[in-house]
Amino acid sequence: MNKPFISICIPSYKRVEHLINLLDSIAIQNFRDFEVVLTDDSPTDEVKAICLKYVDKLPLHYFKNESTLGTPENWNESIRKASGEWIKIMHDDDWFSNADSLESFAIAARENSDAFIFSSFINFQFSDNTSQQVSPSSFRLRKLKQDPVILLSRNCIGVPSVTMYKKEMGIQYDPTMKWLVDIDFYIRLLEQQPFKHIDKPLINVGFSENQLTTMFHNKPEIEIPEYVQLLKKTGTKHLKNMLVYDAWWRLLRNFQITNFEQLQKFANEDCPIVLKSIIKDVNRWPHWLLKLGPVSKILMSISYYSNKQKIKESN
């Protein structure tokens, strides 16, 4: 039996009302050379019951995890179960925006066989049914091509549901990360291959208050350790990029980190010593002043240029 061109991987957990929406959007796709791999992390059989209703509509392979894997290991599990040439992960609260979405991904894959592919998308707020189209600027795409670590400054790609990549890359999501798990994954992929952006909103991305990203937001005990972990993975050399430097400036400013020891306490490990200089500069100014965006950007720029030599020497 020939392997499918695309594996649509769904790491599912409880949200059956959204899962139905996703499965319905898959069922109407015009492109049909795909399989659906669903790994169920739920404690009940609700998801399984839904899947049974789609056995005649979709080439769906259902797997119940023996124990709860959590995020992102359940993502990895669905990818491991896939047999397709390309991996198209879809979170269970996201869905295809139209019947041609998967075909657009397939066309991009055939024309860019060595690329990491991602599309524009539509943010959909479940709380008030509002939506907004999201596309990366040409500036961000140009900077992303030069240095993928700029994703730390702004995730101009989006959530994993808007992406597709070749399974043979063999890269998994880091199970030790939650907040920066997608950015870390993208950086490692883009260090090995180019990207192709599809300038069409092919995916609807659902947002609600009970999502993990919402729960982790603005929690220094979550964010700081992962920033430090990613800095160690990629190297302090990337602080020479002003966008990366600015990401660290904003992190230290927003969490009001006043000294290096406080940073290390949150990180639970030794931090690169070059961060001392950024912390010192952040704390030269009152916090109310740094809350003024344009002023903070100017002060960040002054700090950046004064510390460039220290960053170079730290590599």
Q: Which domains does the chain have, with CATH numbers?
A: 6-213 (3.90.550.10), 218-308 (no CATH)
What residues have CB less than 8 Å from 248, skipping those under 6 apart?
152, 227, 231, 239, 275, 278
In the block, tokens 């957990």 appear at 13
Instruction: Please state, in angstroms and rounded to a whole number, the distance separating the CA atoms of residues 13 and 74.
Output: 9
Instruction: Render each residue's pLDDT in the chain as its tens digit; 315 residues.
Output: 689 999 999 999 988 889 999 999 999 999 999 999 999 999 999 999 999 999 999 999 999 999 999 999 999 999 999 999 999 999 999 999 999 999 999 999 999 999 999 999 999 998 899 999 999 999 999 999 999 999 999 999 999 999 999 999 999 999 999 999 999 999 999 999 999 999 999 999 998 766 556 666 789 999 999 999 999 999 999 999 999 999 999 999 999 999 999 999 999 999 999 999 999 999 999 999 999 999 999 999 999 999 998 898 777
CA 134 to CA 156: how far, in whole Å?
A: 9
Question: What are the E-state strand segments in the chain?
Answer: 6-12, 34-40, 60-64, 86-89, 94-96, 116-125, 130-134, 163-166, 195-207
Burial of 285 (0-12, 13-18, 19+ CB in 10 A): middle
pTM above 0.85, yes or no: yes
Q: Is residue 253 within 8 Å of residue 280, measured between CB atoms?
A: no
Contact indicator for 11, 89 with CB cutoff of 8 Å:
yes
Return all residues near 35 (Cβ < 8 A) that are at least 6 apart: 4, 6, 7, 8, 59, 60, 61, 82, 83, 84
**Closest by Cα among 20, 32, 181 to 94:** 20
CA distance 86 to 33: 11
Rounded CA-CA distance 40/46 in Å is 10
Q: Is there a contact between 189 and 116 (Cβ–Cβ < 8 Å)?
A: yes
pLDDT score, position 212: 59
Whole-number pLDDT of residue 137: 97
Residue partners of 197: CB distance under 8 A and separation at least 6? 117, 118, 119, 120, 136, 141
Residue written as tokens 């959909």? 124
Evaluate whether 95 touches 159 at the Cβ level (below 8 Å).
Answer: no
Helix (H) or strand (E) holding 51: helix 46-52
Residue 156: what residue type?
C
Place of tokens 């950046």: 304
Question: Cα–Cα distance between 297 and 279 in angstroms, integer?
Answer: 15
DSSP label at 197? E
Q: Which two tokens stand for residue 124?
A: 């959909």
